[in-house]
Chain A
C-alpha cells in the first residue's frame, strides 16, 4: 500500500502569491490532517477532515489558509496570499479514525521570500 504522498516537496514563493499544496492520503483512510511545523511553534493543526467533512479549520489560520478535500483520495491546502512567516514544513497525515495511527507524508518545505 502506498503511503501518504505530498507534492510539491519544495516550494519557493514571493510574498503575496497564491500557492496550492497537494496531498493523497493512504487509500481507505477516513481522516485527513494538515499540519504546519516550525522549530518555534512545533506541530500546529491547520485542518482536519473526517470522511471528507471539515471537522477543524485551524482557528487562527482561517483567514489565509483553506484546505479542501475534493474526494476521498485527494486534498489541497491553499495559502492566499503568502507571507514570509508562512515559511515552514507543511505535513499531511491520514488515519483510519481520529484515535488510530496517523501516517505522515514527507511534507512540503515552503519558503516565502
Chain B
C-alpha cells in the first residue's frame, strides 16, 4: 500500500521553464513533508521541507505548495537549470503512532538546455 504517491514518474522541461512535481498522501496524521533530491550515482539529500502550519515554503527557485484539505503537495522549480536534473522524492512522516518516514517512488526530472 503506497501511502505517498508522486506524479509524474518522469518529467522533461526546457531550461528556464517551471517544473511542477506532484505528491499526494493518504495518512491524515502526516505532519512533516521533506523533499529529497538525488543526482545520478549519489545518495539522496534534503532539498526543502514543509510542515502543515503553513501552505507554502520557498527557498530560492524551489517552492512547496501544500493543500491539507486535498492531501496534496507540489514542488515548483522556477527558471529550471540543467543542474536541477535529478530524481526528486517526496516523503512524509507523523508524530503519532508509527513515526517512520515514508518515501514516494520519485519523479525523474530532466532539464533540456
Contact = CB atoms under 8 A, between A and B. Distances in A.
A99 B93 contact: yes
B103 A107 contact: no
Interface string B66-106: 00000000000000000000000100010100111111111
A91 B95 CA distance: 24
Interface stretch (B16-24, B42-50, B55-63): B42-50
Interface residues of A, number: 16
B100 A48 contact: yes
B99 A55 contact: yes
A102 B38 CA distance: 13
Contacts of A48: 100
Contacts of A56: 98, 100
Given A42-B105, A45-B100, A102 B93 contact: no
Contacts of A55: 99-100
Interface string A72-83: 000000000000
B32 interface: yes
A45 B34 CA distance: 16
Contacts of B105: 42
Given A99-B99, A107-B43, 15 more contacts: A42-B106, A43-B44, A45-B100, A55-B100, A56-B100, A91-B44, A98-B100, A98-B101, A99-B32, A99-B95, A101-B46, A101-B49, A102-B44, A104-B43, A105-B43
Interface of B: 31-32, 34, 36, 43-46, 49, 89, 93, 95, 98-106
The 3 closest A-B pairs by CB, nearest first: A104-B43, A99-B32, A43-B103
